[in-house]
């Protein structure tokens, strides 16, 4: 009888369920919760057995994942040893993604406690400072925990960084993919700022419009926005994305060159030119 009770399993055990045992819960409360959730058949044997074994003070609070049926003995053992069995979920945040894009990725993964609006509220004003990387989170992760982890990773990987350098890095991240070309483009853009020229960076327009249309229209160049690098000289007021280490390094270490202009052709190659006349010829040659 005792052995059968110890290794009994409810008929309708809720597989792949997550049960939260709150800190400070009384033993009878935990038993009632486990019974109502279908994890155990009855709360009375649970309470009795825990007391017989003298384990009432050993139960650990936390989130327990039950992938398949557990016997009463197994449930008690897990609660005492804090055997949560929660498998972390792998999430990859690509370089150059925006805060809105990060929120979208986590929403699609389906973290039950992650709230998109809460995440965007928490990270307001932190564009560029959440590090793109591969993360492993528990299924119970919250928006606050995601934001804190990514921001902490940024501080660890990047360290102290000048705001202007970070803004420049976000432009470079979205403008050019090739490592060597990024450093040349960085030199061009910093040189334009010193010369009082507008940056004329096309990568700002998806950020301004909140969507990527694939091409920049002539009407886009007239959009009234502080991020419009055609209408305004100097850097935008804040980053337009969360750059990776390579783009940050390019912004920190620009390469000197005789070039003033560049474009990425339909062939995916960045083409540089020294004069605007040469740049116009490149536009005809590589963009049409």
pLDDT value for 245? 97
Spatial contact of 223 and 210, defined as CB atoms under 8 Å apart:
no
Same domain for 228 and 193? yes
Question: Under a CB-based contact definition with an 8 Å cutoff, are residues 111 and 91 in contact?
Answer: no
In a domain, 26, yes or no: yes
pLDDT in tens, 193-226: 999 999 999 999 999 988 776 677 778 888 999 9
pLDDT tens across 40-55, in order? 998 999 999 999 989 9
Cβ atoms of 245 and 157 within 8 Å: the answer is yes
Judgement on whether residues 119 and 172 belong to the same structural domain of the protein: no
What pLDDT digit, counting tens, does each position of 37-94 carry?
A: 999 998 999 999 999 989 989 999 888 888 889 999 999 999 999 888 877 789 999 9
Same domain, yes or no: 124 and 186: no
Contacts of 217 (CB under 8 A, 6+ apart): none
Tokens of 198: 């507008």
Total domains in the chain come to 3
Query: What is the 3-state composition of the chain as percent helix, strand, coil, each rounded to the nearest 5?
Result: 45, 10, 45
Based on the fold, state whether residues 134 and 181 are members of the same structural domain.
no
1 pLDDT exceeds 60? no
If you average pLDDT over residues 272-279, what whole number do you get? 94
Average pLDDT over all residues of the chain? 91
**287 lies in some domain:** no
Q: Which domain holds residue 112?
A: 89-158
> In the structure encoding, which two tokens stand for residue 194, read together?
């010193």
Length of the chain: 288
Q: Assign residue 8 the CATH number of its domain.
A: 3.30.1490.480
Q: What is each CA distance from 162 to 49, 129, 165, 174, 239, in whole angstroms?
A: 61, 12, 5, 19, 12
- pLDDT at residue 238, as a whole number: 97
Q: Is residue 174, in this structure, part of any structural domain at all?
A: yes
Calculate the CA dihedral of residues 39, 40, 46, 50 and round it to 10 degrees. -40
- Sorting pLDDT into bands at 50, 70 and 90, what band is 2? low
Residues 154 and 167 in one domain: no
Cα separation, 40 vs 84, in Å, equals 16
185 and 237 co-located in one domain: yes
Same domain as 240, residue 177? yes
Q: How far apart are CA 114 and CA 160, in angstroms?
A: 29
Q: Find out whether 188 and 172 touch, Cβ atoms under 8 Å.
A: no
The proportion of the chain whose per-residue pLDDT surpasses 70, expressed as a percent, equals 98
Who contacts 200 (Cβ-Cβ below 8 Å, separation ≥6)?
A: 192, 229, 230
């Amino acid at each position: 009888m005792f052995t059968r009770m110890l290794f009994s399993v409810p008929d309708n055990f809720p597989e792949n369920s997550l049960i939260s045992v709150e800190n400070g819960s009384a033993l009878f409360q935990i038993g009632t919760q486990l019974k109502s959730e279908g994890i155990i058949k009855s709360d009375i044997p649970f309470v009795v057995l825990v007391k017989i074994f003298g384990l009432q003070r050993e139960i650990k609070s936390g989130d327990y994942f039950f992938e398949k049926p557990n016997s009463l003995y197994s449930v008690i053992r897990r609660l005492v040893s804090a055997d949560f069995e929660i498998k972390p979920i792998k999430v990859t945040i690509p370089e150059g993604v925006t805060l809105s894009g990060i929120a979208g990725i986590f929403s699609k993964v389906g973290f039950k406690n992650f709230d998109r609006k809460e995440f965007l509220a928490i990270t307001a004003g932190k564009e560029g400072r959440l590090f793109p990387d591969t993360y492993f989170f528990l299924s119970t992760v919250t928006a606050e925990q995601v934001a804190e982890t990514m921001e902490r990773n940024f501080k660890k990987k990047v360290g102290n960084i000048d705001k202007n350098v970070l803004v420049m890095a976000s432009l470079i991240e979205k403008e050019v993919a090739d490592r060597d070309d990024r450093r040349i483009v960085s030199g061009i853009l910093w040189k334009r700022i010193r010369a009082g020229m507008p940056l004329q960076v096309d990568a700002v327009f998806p950020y301004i419009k909140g969507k990527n249309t694939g091409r920049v229209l002539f009407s886009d160049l007239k959009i009234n926005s502080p991020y419009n690098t055609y209408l305004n000289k100097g850097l935008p007021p804040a980053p337009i994305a969360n750059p990776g280490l390579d783009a940050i390094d390019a912004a920190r270490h620009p390469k000197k060159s005789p070039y003033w202009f560049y474009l990425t052709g339909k062939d995916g190659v960045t083409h540089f030119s020294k004069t605007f006349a040469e740049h116009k010829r490149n536009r005809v040659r590589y963009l049409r």
